[in-house]
């Protein structure tokens, strides 16, 4: 068990976050754009707009998580309701 603790002591997730930001997010946005294009061609505009709204919300949450600003955002939101 001591060896596992020693191996994980130097581990970091920063390179994983960078890889996700540079590779996965652009591919997801591209796939969503293709789906929206197909939905718009079929005339299903209301469904396409729901997908756009969901994607925007998901990207905001991903951006907050990837930048590490969640604590500051939480403090700001709490300051809106408390005096």
User: Which whole number is the average pLDDT over 73-81?
Assistant: 87
The pLDDT of residue 68: 80
**Nearest Cα to 56, choosing from 28, 77, 34?**
28
Give residue-wise pLDDT tens across range 7-47: 555 566 677 777 777 887 778 878 888 887 887 788 877 88
- Per the prediction, the chain carries an average pLDDT of 77
User: pLDDT-based confidence at 59, cuts 50/70/90?
Assistant: confident
Whether the per-residue pLDDT at 82 is higher than 60: the answer is yes
Q: Is 13 exposed, middle or buried (0-12, 13-18, 19+ CB in 10 A)?
A: exposed
Distance CA 78, CA 75 (A): 5
User: Which whole number is the average pLDDT over 41-56?
Assistant: 81
């Amino acid at each position: 068990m001591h060896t596992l603790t020693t191996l994980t002591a130097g581990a970091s997730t920063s390179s994983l976050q960078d890889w996700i930001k540079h590779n996965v997010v652009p591919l997801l946005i591209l796939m969503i754009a293709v789906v929206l294009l197909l939905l718009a061609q079929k005339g299903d505009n209301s469904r396409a707009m729901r997908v756009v709204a969901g994607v925007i919300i998901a990207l905001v949450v991903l951006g907050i998580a990837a930048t590490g600003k969640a604590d500051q955002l939480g403090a700001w939101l709490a300051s809106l309701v408390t005096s």
